[in-house]
Homo-oligomer: A and B are copies of this chain.
Amino acid sequence: MKGKIAIPRTTIERLPLYYRCLAKLDKMDIEVISSKELGERIGVPSTQVRKDLSYYGEFGRRGVGYEVKLLLKNLERILGLNNHWPIVLVGAGNLGRALVNYEGFRKLGLEIKAVLDTDLNKIGNSISGITVQSIKNLKEVVEKYNIKMGIIAVPAASAQQVADQLVSVGIKAIWNFAPTRIIVPEDVKVKNEDLSVGIIGLVYHLARNE
């Protein structure tokens, strides 16, 4: 691929869904899948599947479909999951502790390298072998481990301040668990993890089936 092609945001947002779906299929030892089947699992038409993937190369074969292992490998590369990504986590509360122990990170090449907090009662504590440090050490740990990604797991009221600090030391991707929007420069990507979206779907199911 030469230079930067403008790939639609919606296509990019579907890549993790393709990846997760293919990882599941691979686990089930399914070797080939058609764009129609893949689309049904993601919730888009087969034409959209072919269009989405065509931005990144020629992966499918007409009348055959996609080889699951091969497409999975390619998506891994496209998504950058074949690299190692060190992370700094700010907030050593319950959510922060839960994230450090989250089983799903390592297989994506992700590793929380440092946990920072402002609370003197938390600094010095150990979470699964990581010692909680003062937020004052932010610049130092980011440089030491060459960290580009930060996780915010602090209360809503301090989230923007933490985001500003992360941006100031060169963090380019922020995963924000605080239930509030944060404002960052254009070259920094924020993913707001809004847990309420997940549960709303369940409430809908209950409300419809009473």
Contact = CB atoms under 8 A, between A and B. Distances in A.
A16 B197 CA distance: 6
A89 to B, nearest CB: 12
Nearest to A151: B199
Interface string A73-113: 00000111101010000000111011101111100111000
- Can you tell how many copies of this chain the complex includes? 2
A179 interface: yes
B149 A206 contact: yes
Interface stretch (A115-123, A135-143, A161-169, A187-195): A187-195
A44 B99 CA distance: 32
A184 interface: no
Contacts of A19: 200
Contact of A104 (B17, B94, B194): B194
Given A15-B200, A94-B95, A173-B205, 13 more contacts: A10-B44, A79-B203, A80-B203, A97-B98, A98-B98, A99-B195, A102-B195, A172-B205, A172-B209, A175-B202, A187-B209, A193-B195, A193-B198
